[in-house]
Structure 1
C-alpha cells in the first residue's frame, strides 16, 4: 500500500478503493441510555470502496484487509466522525443571520419576509444556494433538512446545487396562504400543485429528498393544512417539516386561530402530519400529552438552541424529553440561529440544558448531530455511522486547530474530554477535512 499525508492533495477521484487512518468514532445508539452506544478506535481505519464503507475498526486488525496498492490517507492524531446532519436550517436566511430584533414575530416581519421575497428571482436563489452549501461543508455538515421559500424556484435552486455536489439533502417549498405578506402568499391549491411537481422532479433523485413544508400553523389555513394531509398520504415516503411551540406568543396565537384543537401540536396531528420522517422545530412549550403523542408517532424534534437563545424563545426541557424518549436531533436554525457550526450549536445546547438542571454530555451531543438525525430520517443504513454499506460522508476534526484547543486537547485524558473541548471551544476552524461519498471536498 502507499501512504499519503493528510495535507497532500493527490488526484484520486477515479480510485475505487481507499483507506483513511486516524482516530475513528461513530455511534450505534443513544449514549444517554446505552453503555455500548459507540465504537472508538484510537488508531482506527476506514476502508472505502466506490464511496461506501467496507469496514471500520482498529488499524492493526484491518490493515491486512487493505488491497495491495491502495492509497492510505493519513489523518493520525485527528478525529474522524460521520458528517454532521443539521435537521432544521433556512437557506434563504443566510444573508440575514445576526439581524437585531426583540423577538420572533418582529424578526419575521422586519428581516425574514423581505429577504425571502428576493427568492422569486431564480438567479438570486442559485447564488445563495451555492454559498449556503459551501458554508455547510466548511462547517462539517454533509447533510441537512433545509427550508426554502414559498417560491418553487428556491427549492429548485437548492436541489440543483446539492445534486451537483452529490449531497444527501432534503428541502421543500414553503406553504403559506395567510397571515403573511401578499408577496409571499400562495394558495392551498397552488401550494399543493407546486409541491407535487417538485416532489416528482426531485424526491429520490440521487441523494435528495422532499419535505412537505407548511411554515407553521398560523400561516396556513385549514384548507392548506388539509392539502398537506393529502400530500402526506399520497407520498408516504416524503418528509415533513414545520415549527411548533417556539414561543409563548406563538402558542397563544395558535390557540386563537384553532380554538377546537387541544394544543398547538394537535393541529398538526389532526391533519396526519405526525409520523416518522416529520421534523418539528423547537418544541419548547409542549405538555405531557403532546410529548407522549410526539414520541408515539415517530416524529422528531429539531432542537435549535442558538436561535432559541437569540430570539429569547425559551429553554428546551431535556428532562421531559428523556422521560418520554423523544427523538431529539440538533439543528442550527440559521438565520434565527447564529452559526452554521454544529460545534457552536453543541456549545449552546449544553448551556441551555444546564439552565434546566440537565447535564448534556459531549458524547450525546455528537450522537445527536450524527446518528440520531440519521435514524430520524430513516437513513441509518445510509449515513450517520460507519456501518458497512453506509455512504462515506465523514469529517476530520483537528485537535490542534487553535492554540487554545491544542493546549486543552493535550490535557484531555478521555474521549469525553476531547469531544467536550471540541464542542465548547470549536468552530469551523476545527474542521480539517470533509469527505462526501469518500471524496475529499
Structure 2
C-alpha cells in the first residue's frame, strides 16, 4: 500500500451534462496497492484507515488527477514536429512520408519510441492511441518500450496500399496479415492494446478497408483508429475516390469500421447525419485543436457534437500538433470552442482528457479515474510551477479558476510527477 496526499480531482460524469460530475478533495488522500486504486477521498477520513507503516507521499499544495489520455498521436512524426507546409496534403508528401521511411530500421524505431514515451510522461500523458508506420517493427518497438515502463498504450501498424510512396506501401492482403500477426503478438499482453489502423481512406483501397473491417469484426475488443473529415481538400478527394459513399465517414461504415472502440481523428467537416451515425455506433471523435490550427484544417464544433450525443476526447496529433502537452491542447481547444460560439469550462476540458477519453475508448473502469480497482495511472500538477502560474493561482477563488489557469498557462513544467500502474515513471527536474 502507498498513500499520496494532495488535492484530488477526478470525474464520474461529463460536466457538460451534470453539475455534480466531479469529485474534489481539497485535502485528499489517494491509496494505491499493487498498481491499482484502493480509495480516493478526504485525508481526514482515510488517513486513520491506513495500515501501520504505510508510506505517505506528501504532495500538499499540489493537485493529483488521473493521468492524461491522448487519443490520437503519431510517434514516428516526433522528429518532424513544427515542419512548415501550406496544408495537410503537401505536408504529408514533403515531411511525413520521408520521415516514416526511416522506421524500416528497428534501431531507429526503438530510439524514437523511447524519446516519444519520455515526452508523453514529461507532459503527464500515461495512455495514448498511437499511429506507428507501415513497418511491423515500428509497432514492436513502441510496445516493447511501453512494456518496460508498464504503460497502458494502444497502437497499430498503419495500412496504406495506394497514393503513397512505393517504399511505404503494403497491399490489402499483406497489411491485413501483418496486422493480425501483431494483434496476436501484442493485444492484451501486459498493458498493450492493438488498434487496426488504416491511415485514412485515400491511402487505402476499398479492398484494404474491407479486410480491416473483417479484422475489426473478428477481434471485437481491438481498437480502430483513422482520420476523417480533417481538411476540405481531403474531403473533396474522398468524394472523387469513393463516389458511391454518402460521406467520408460512410466510407468507413460501409467497410465495417464504425463501432465501439473506433476513434476517428478530427471530425471537423461532418454533417448532422454523420454525427448521428457516430453516436449510434459508439465511435468517438479525437479532437486535435493544435494540429487543426497549425494546418489550417478547420474548427471542431463541440456544440454540434454534444447535441448529437457523440463521444468526444482531446488529442495532440503530433506531428501535425505542435505540443505533446495535454494542457496546451486544452488551451487551444478552449479557443477553438470560442471561435465556434461554444464555451469549454476547465472542468470539461480536464474531463475530456481523463475519464471522457477513457469512455471514448471503451476503457472506463480501467483507466481515467480513481474508482476502486482502476489502474493507478495518475499525475501530480504543480500550480506554482512557473512564476506566472504561481502569481495567478495564488488568488484563485474557485476550483474552476485554478484548473483554467493550469490549462491556459500550464505545460510540461506543471507536471511535477507521473505515475503508471502505481510506479513513478517521471519526476520533474530529476537529476
Normalising by structure 2, what TM-score? 0.98
SS of the equivalent of 1:253 reads helix
Asked whether the 8 Å contact 2:72–2:265 carries over to 1, the reply is: yes
Is the CA contact 2:210–2:256 (under 8 Å) kept in the aligned structure 1?
A: no
How many angstroms does 1:379 deviate by?
1.5
Please point out which of 297, 306, 331 is paired with 2:281: 297
Residue ranges of structure 1 left out of the alignment (5+ in a row)? 1-16
Aligned pairs (5 A) from 1:302-321: 302-321=286-305
Which residue of 236, 251, 272 corresponds with 2:256? 272
Residue 371 of structure 1 corresponds to 355
Spell out the pairing of 1:345-364 with structure 2 (5 A cutoff): 345-364=329-348
Deviations, residues 21-65 of structure 1 (Å, cap 9, x unaligned): 000000111000011100000000011111111111000111111
Q: Offset at 1:126?
A: 0.3
Deviation of 1:96 after TM superposition, in Å, equals 0.2
Map residues 167-186 of structure 1 onto 2, 5 A cutoff. Answer: 167-186=151-170
The CA distance in 1 between the partners of 2:363 and 2:339, in whole Å, is: 32
Q: How does 1:32-431 map to 2 (within 5 A)?
A: 32-431=16-415
Q: Secondary structure at the match of 1:65?
A: coil
- Distance, in Å, in 2 between the alignment partners of 1:289 and 1:109 is 32
Moved >4 Å (runs of 4+): none
Tell me how far 1:440 sits from its aligned partner.
Answer: 1.2
Cα distance in 1 between the residues matched to 2:283 and 2:50: 40
Counterparts of 1:413 and 1:275, CA distance in 2: 43
Q: Secondary structure at the match of 2:190?
A: coil
Distance of 2:299 and 2:130 partners within structure 1: 23
CA distance in 2, matches of 1:417, 1:127: 40
Matched residue, 2:429: none
Following the alignment from structure 2 to structure 1, what is the Cα–Cα distance between the partners of residues 118 and 207?
38
Q: Secondary structure at the match of 1:162?
A: helix
CA-CA distance at 1:377 after TM superposition = 1.7
* Secondary structure of the corresponding residue to residue 48 of structure 2: helix
**Superposed displacement of residue 212, structure 1:** 0.3
State the secondary structure of the residue aligned to 2:97: helix
CA distance in 2, matches of 1:87, 1:214: 15
What is the distance in 2 between the residues matched to 1:222 and 1:157? 29
Cα distance in 1 for residues equivalent to 2:22 and 2:263: 25
- The corresponding residue for 1:5 is none
Following the alignment from structure 1 to structure 2, what is the Cα–Cα distance between the partners of residues 438 and 220?
Answer: 40
For residue 263 of structure 1, report the CA deviation from its aligned partner.
0.3
Partner secondary structure for residue 179 of structure 2:
helix
Q: Per-residue displacement from partner, 1:131-160 (whole Å, max 9, x unpaired)?
A: 000100000000000000010010110011
2:10 counterpart of 1:26? yes
Confirm or deny: 8 A CA contact 2:316 2:323 kept in the other structure. yes
Aligned equivalents of 1:165, 1:421: Cα separation in 2: 31
Matches of 2:63 and 2:268, distance apart in 1: 33
User: Normalization by structure 1: what TM-score?
Assistant: 0.96
Separation in 2 of the partners of 1:18 and 1:215? 42
- In the TM superposition, residue 325 of structure 1 has moved relative to its aligned partner by 1.4
CA-to-partner distance for each residue in 1:85-126, whole Å, 9 max, x for gaps?
Answer: 000000000000000111000100000000000000000000
Deviates more, 1:231-240 or 1:88-97: 231-240
Provide the alpha-carbon RMSD of the alignment: 0.6
